A and B are shown apart, each in its own frame.
Chain A
Amino acid sequence: MIKRKNKNIQNPFYDASLDKRHASAKRFKRFTLTSLIFSVAFLAFFLFDIISKGTPAFKVTYLHVDVTYNQKSIEDSRFAVERKYRKVISRSWLRDLPKQVEENPELMNTTQTMWVLADDQVDQYFKGHHYKLKRKDKALIDDMKAQGRINTEFNSIFFLHGDSKIPENAGFFSAMIGSILTLIITMIVAFPLGVMTAIYLEEFSEDNKFTRFIEVNINNLAAIPSILFGLLGLAIFINLFGMPRSSPLVGGLTLALMTLPIIIVSSRAALRAVPDSIRQAGYGLGLTKIQVTRDHVLPLAFPGILTGSIIGLAQAMGETAPLIIIGMIAFIPDAPTSIMDAATVMPAQLFTWSGMPERMYIEKTAAGIMVLLSILISLNAIAIYLRKKFEVKW
């Protein structure tokens, strides 16, 4: 930056108006820079907020107590522990008592001192967040803290359990399975349809009204709000075709229609990037258009097509609104076993959790967001890596 002194004395280039104009130009530049900084700062703040809210969820609190296994406690698990502990131990853990004895019969008629899952309010108290504990329960926990009988462990429940009305028992697993099934349907439908449409438009169609009509439709489809696809799914797939509500089948089909435009546009770009000389060489050898396209153009365009499809997949993974409309926000404790079962997907699970009153759900939601964002970032990174790796310089 050259100094702008613009001095008056003996300077034939001196211009009085320039100081003001430079000041104005500087203000303008500062405004644009501030805007940019704001955008970046928001992202940083947002990530910090989510990570700080979500990280505590990866650990969960356990209490060291005596557990009695006998006939009485199997029938009513409240009797497995001393009365004072009943409110601070997780109801879900107690519920599982009969199953524990079934799997380990040698526990019968013994009393074990073991680490037991704590109630969600205890967990939140121990982590220093907002909690709702009765005074005597709080005093009990303080005592146990002093005795070293309270500890946090890695929260495998989060990854292995499905949703639950008991906060400390709720996990992301069934949502993850639901997402996988739904997205499989999405890609099975959207990928072939999208690529075939792109091939038709790029290689086979002429520039006539029919082609332009299709292109206009694709452009419009890309801009339709996602919630309206949900209405389509509800009216046609569920009501008209009678498919099962909130199933990965309906969810997948609905998302497939939403993902089509992205796959079409990126596949077309990939096909267009293949130079014409490749095609000409094929024709010169006497091959038909389909042979040229299938054996020569398509393989070269494939990396680009794959990249675009991965990006489409990532977008579909984060979609919530249309799936809510077709019912995928039911309470789903067990992971779906087929595409016809009722299921939920990761973003919908986050939506459901964020509406729950217990504070523990806030950190679970934030943790779920971290998992979802990590998957999305990985997908995008893979897409970018593929694009760079297979980038052929014609």
Chain B
Amino acid sequence: MSTFETRNKKRELTEKLIKTALIIASVISVLTTFGILFSILFEAIEFFQMRSFWYFITGMEWSPGVEGSKFGAIPIFAGTFVITIIALLLAIPVGLGSAIYMSEYASSTTRDYLKPILEVLAGIPTVVYGFFAAITVAPFIVKAADTIGLEATFNSALASGVVMGIMIIPVISSLSDDVIRAVPDSQRKAALGLGLTQGETIRDIVIPSALPGIISASLLGLSKALGETMIVVMAAGLRPNLSWNPLEDMTTVTVTIVNSLVGDFEFNSPETLSAFALGLVLFVVTLILNIISLRLIRKFKEKYKVNTL
């Protein structure tokens, strides 16, 4: 073979190797997802061989570490639910309102200043939010409740819920801002041309058009709230408590996972493995929320033929 041909053959081989390496790299992300799923599933199944699955998802008592320990997760799900609802009740109106003002009312210079400020909120590590919740917000709520004659614990669901809501504001406002701006200007012109006020145009024409995207943003916010750990570990309670009162302490799925794993129990005890059972529930729920959210965004993109999302 001539040197030219051998050089070609060498290059072909190198290129094939490089391409294989690239494919392997890409597969890593797949392996990770499945790795997470299987490792959690495997340990969770071990747990369900020790304790009843049915009681896990319907039982009302969570008392590990004692004779006849029970693992009914309903109080934990309820606590997660209450704190998440508080967070969303704050984040959705504030996030959506901020997005509407920035995209519809604000001048472009104002927008250029405000958008980065909201991004800063998104970049604050959650442990910092947790510190703020535990050291500043929780005591304030206790004092405030006291002045109106109510009793709040230092681990109130309200404290972690409010701070979690603040953490989620940028998630909702950022995506909502993008979808609102994607609504074509011709819609606004048509509405204004018919003699509608700007408020009516936004409320009755623009927002309904952007609704799939806004719902998608809310679902993402919900997913983030469910999976949030540090704020609740630092500011919420440890005690599973089935209650609707936001001034009481209650615990969440993520807090229980952390507690189950940093305890003194052996790895193969039901106490420790219960963390994986909860992890499995968390994984499935957030996965479903994420899939729905992506599908909504895809529908929105098709409708308005946008690529900026």
A residues neighboring B (CB under 8 Å): 18, 21-22, 24-29, 31-36, 38-40, 42-43, 46, 49-50, 53, 192-193, 196-197, 199-201, 204-205, 213-214, 217-221, 223-229, 231-232, 234-236, 239, 257, 260-261, 264, 288-290, 314-315, 317-321, 324-325, 327, 329, 347-348, 350-351, 354-355, 362, 365-366, 369, 372-373, 376, 380
Contacts and interface: CB of A to CB of B under 8 A. Distances in A.
A121 B95 CA distance: 43
Contacts of A199: 22
Contact of B29 (A28, A218, A235, A315): A218
Contact of A214 (B11, B27, B124): B27
Contact of A197 (B26, B261, B294): B26
Given A22-B197, A36-B114, A225 B26 contact: no
A204 B100 CA distance: 40
Nearest to A190: B28
Interface in B269-308: 275-276, 279, 282-283, 286-287, 290-291, 294
B15 A221 contact: no
A28 B123 contact: no
A235 B127 CA distance: 24
Interface in B89-141: 93-98, 100-102, 104-105, 114, 117-118, 120-121, 123-128, 130-132, 134-136
Contacts, number: 244
A320 B126 contact: yes
Interface residues of B, number: 85
Contacts of A366: 131
B226 interface: yes
B194 interface: no
Contact of A236 (B35, B105, B257): B35
B51 to A, nearest CB: 18
Nearest to A311: B123
B173 interface: yes
Given A192-B25, A218-B29, 5 more contacts: A18-B197, A225-B283, A227-B254, A347-B127, A350-B127
Nearest to A35: B97
B254 A321 contact: yes
Contacts of B229: 225-227, 320-321, 324
Interface in B227-245: 227-230, 233-234
Contacts of B100: 32
A193 B203 CA distance: 45
14 contacts: A29-B105, A32-B105, A197-B26, A214-B29, A223-B223, A223-B287, A225-B228, A227-B229, A318-B127, A325-B261, A347-B127, A350-B128, A350-B131, A365-B135
A226 B132 CA distance: 20
A158 B93 CA distance: 41
B80 to A, nearest CB: 12
Given A288-B11, A347-B127, A213 B117 contact: no
Interface stretch (B39-47, B56-64, B144-152): B39-47
A183 to B, nearest CB: 14
B32 interface: yes
A235 B38 CA distance: 10
Contacts of B50: none
A101 B279 CA distance: 55
A204 B29 contact: no
Secondary structure at the A interface, as helix, strand, loop or mixed, is helix
A373 B128 contact: yes
A225 B286 contact: yes
A37 to B, nearest CB: 9
B190 interface: no
A214 B26 contact: yes
B29 A197 contact: yes
A224 B282 CA distance: 9
A290 B18 CA distance: 8
Contacts of A261: 29
A19 to B, nearest CB: 11
Contact of A221 (B23, B26, B32, B197): B32
Contact of A29 (B114, B199, B275): B199
A228 B291 CA distance: 18
Given A24-B199, A350-B127, A225 B39 contact: no
A213 B30 contact: yes
A22 B199 CA distance: 8
B40 A231 contact: yes
A232 B35 contact: yes
Contact of A351 (B15, B102, B173, B234): B234
Nearest to B93: A35
B19 interface: yes
B30 A354 contact: no
B262 interface: yes
A214 B94 contact: no
A236 B42 CA distance: 11
